[in-house]
């Protein structure tokens, strides 16, 4: 005998404790099983691409801070790399090393936040968040020491970075780097082997390797599915080819692998930081670049490996002080297209966890 059931539509609306921003999903549920999902975005659209057409190249840098506001320095870095590629500017050595130090510290901070809130969505009542934010606070203090702000840094400039580091920066960073592997081991002890976490995340929402490549996923989502693709190794930008680090690759592509890849990436970032601190040369930090830059006519696409994936900036210049077209390729919007494949057939609880494991920031999806 077949019991007649009827699927119903649940609106996991823009205001929800765990949608990591204003993201709306219309989910069709059959009991507790997700049958269909329709994401609705655009609640945080601010028109950054249009605003970029009316601002000079230096004035766009504070705008790029506000795209992926949890990893602002990598946004700045991607943008200035694209402009430097277009205008053909070389930057001093010390500026290169400072950019790498800031970018890797930013990667640690962003992953701490992502992993913390992933575990919070699982239900561990803010405890992993607070432990991880203690380390993130130390990093934010260091950023405040260098460039004056804790969230929107505006630190990179076309031709280098804006300020040199004060003399108390390096001892504090060395102390942080020495203590961090111990703290990552503590986080592993807290929840990596917990049976409840394993039962909820291992084998759940598997993204197969071919689907990941076909939907143009990037970042930890792609690496967890078994594809060894990291832009720092595959298409090295800046001076990443001088550092020795590994790229962690998952096996299956479930939620646990995405969490595990992020934890391992934090360890590799600490390795890069140690090497960069040891090799830091002296010199100026900002090349001689005119204040109103007129790049030659042309178009450029500059991309980097941000903590969430491949972040790209596409610029068309017509030799004036402002770009003709300024387009951003957000990593999480492209990763989000794989959400339906990952989630259909699982339950509402798994939907929230999977969404947290993609690590979404609405600022860069909606721009």
Partner 1 sequence: MTILEQFRLWLGGIWPDWAAYLVPGIVGIVLVLAFVVVSVIVFIWFERRLLGRFQIRLGPNRLGPEGIFQPIATALKILLKEDIVPAKADKVIHWLAPVIVFVPVLMIFAVVPLGQRAILTDLNVGIVYVVAVSSISAVGIYMAGWASNNKYALIAAFRTVAQMVSYELPVVLAILGVVLMAGSLSMTQIVESQSIPFLVLQPLGFVIFFLGTVAEMNRSPFDLLEADSEIVAGYHIEYSGMKFAMFYLGEYGHALAYSCIITTLFLAGWQGPFLPPIIWFLIKVFAVFSVIVWMRATLPRLRVDQLMSFAWKGLLPMAIINLFIIAAEMLWLPEISLWILVVINIVSAGVLVLLWSRLFSLGGGRVEV
Partner 2 sequence: MRFERYGIGIAKGMALTFRHLFRPPITLQYPEEKLVVSRRIRGNELVWYLDRCTGCASCAKACPQGNIEIVTHVGNRNNYVVDKFEVDCGRCMFCGLCVEACPYDALAMGRSYERSQYRRNDVILNKEQLQQSDIRQPSGYARPLIEASLPKQSLLVYWNRKEGGQKLSWLGLSKKRGRGV
Residues interacting with partner 2, by CB under 8 A? 55, 58-63, 65, 127, 131, 134, 137-138, 141-142, 144-149, 152, 154, 162-163, 166, 168, 172, 175-176, 179, 186, 189-198, 291
Q: Which stretch binds partner 1 (CB under 8 A): 49-57, 224-232, 262-270, 348-356?
A: 348-356
CA geometry: angle at 323 spanning 320 and 329, to 5°? 165
Q: How far apart, in Å, are the Cα atoms of 256 and each of 178, 209, 224, 228?
A: 27, 15, 9, 17
How many residues sit in the footprint of partner 1 (CB under 8 A)?
42
Q: Which is nearer to partner 1, 199 or 292 (CB)?
A: 199
The one of partner 2, partner 1, none whose footprint includes residue 350, by CB under 5 to 8 A per kind, is partner 1
Among 38, 50, 59, 127, binds partner 1 (CB under 8 A): 127
The one of partner 1, partner 2, none whose footprint includes residue 38, by CB under 5 to 8 A per kind, is none
With a CB cutoff of 8 Å and minimum separation 6, the contacts of 159 are: 80, 84, 89, 91, 95, 286, 287, 288, 289
Helices marked H in the chain: 48-52, 60-65, 72-87, 93-122, 127-147, 169-191, 195-201, 209-214, 220-224, 231-234, 255-278, 331-336, 339-343, 348-358, 362-366
Q: Does 185 sit near partner 1 (CB under 8 A)?
A: no
User: Distance of alpha carbon 184 from its chain centroid, rounded?
Assistant: 19
The one of partner 2, partner 1, none whose footprint includes residue 347, by CB under 5 to 8 A per kind, is partner 1
Q: Which is nearer to partner 1, 28 or 149 (CB)?
A: 28
The 82-121 contact track toward partner 1, x by CB under 8 A, reads -------------------------------------xxx
Helices marked H in 204-288: 209-214, 220-224, 231-234, 255-278
24 forms bridges with which residues in the sheet?
A: 40
Among 24, 55, 66, 200, binds partner 1 (CB under 8 A): 200
The site for partner 1 (CB under 8 A) is made up of 8, 10, 16-18, 30, 32-33, 35, 119-127, 130-131, 134, 190-191, 194-200, 202-204, 254, 344-350, 352
């Amino acid at each position: 005998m077949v019991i007649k059931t009827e699927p119903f539509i649940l609106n996991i609306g823009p205001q929800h404790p765990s949608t990591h921003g204003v993201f709306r999903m219309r989910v069709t549920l059959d009991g507790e099983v997700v049958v269909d999902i329709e994401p609705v975005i655009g609640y945080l659209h601010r028109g950054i691409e249009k605003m970029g057409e009316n601002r000079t190249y230096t004035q766009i840098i504070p705008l790029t801070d506000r795209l992926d506001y949890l990893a602002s320095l990598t946004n700045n870095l991607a943008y200035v790399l694209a402009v430097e590629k277009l205008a053909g500017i070389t930057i001093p050595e010390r500026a290169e090393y400072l950019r790498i130090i800031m970018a890797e510290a930013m990667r640690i901070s962003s992953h701490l936040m992502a992993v913390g809130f992933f575990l919070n969505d699982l239900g561990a009542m803010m405890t992993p968040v607070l432990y991880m934010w203690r380390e993130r606070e130390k990093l934010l203090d260091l950023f405040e020491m260098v460039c004056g702000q804790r969230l929107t840094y505006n630190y990179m400039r076309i031709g280098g970075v804006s300020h040199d580091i004060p003399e108390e920066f390096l001892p504090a960073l060395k102390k942080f780097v020495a203590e961090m592997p111990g703290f990552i081991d503590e986080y592993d002890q807290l929840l990596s082997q917990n049976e409840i976490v394993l039962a909820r995340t291992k084998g759940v929402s598997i993204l197969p390797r071919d689907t990941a490549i076909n939907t143009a996923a990037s970042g930890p989502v792609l690496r967890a599915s078994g594809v060894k693709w990291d832009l720092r190794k595959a298409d090295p930008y800046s001076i990443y080819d001088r550092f020795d680090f590994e790229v962690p690759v998952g096996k299956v592509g479930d939620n646990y692998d995405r969490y595990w890849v992020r934890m391992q990436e934090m360890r590799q970032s600490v390795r890069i930081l140690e090497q960069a601190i040891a090799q830091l040369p002296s010199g100026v930090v900002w090349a001689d670049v005119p204040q109103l830059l007129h790049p030659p006519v042309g178009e450029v696409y500059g991309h980097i490996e941000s903590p969430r994936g491949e972040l790209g900036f596409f610029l068309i210049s017509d030799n004036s002080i402002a770009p003709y077209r300024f387009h951003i390729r957000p990593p999480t919007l492209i990763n989000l297209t794989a959400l339906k494949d990952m989630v259909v057939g699982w339950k509402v609880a798994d939907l929230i966890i999977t969404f947290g494991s993609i690590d979404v920031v609405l600022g860069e999806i909606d721009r």
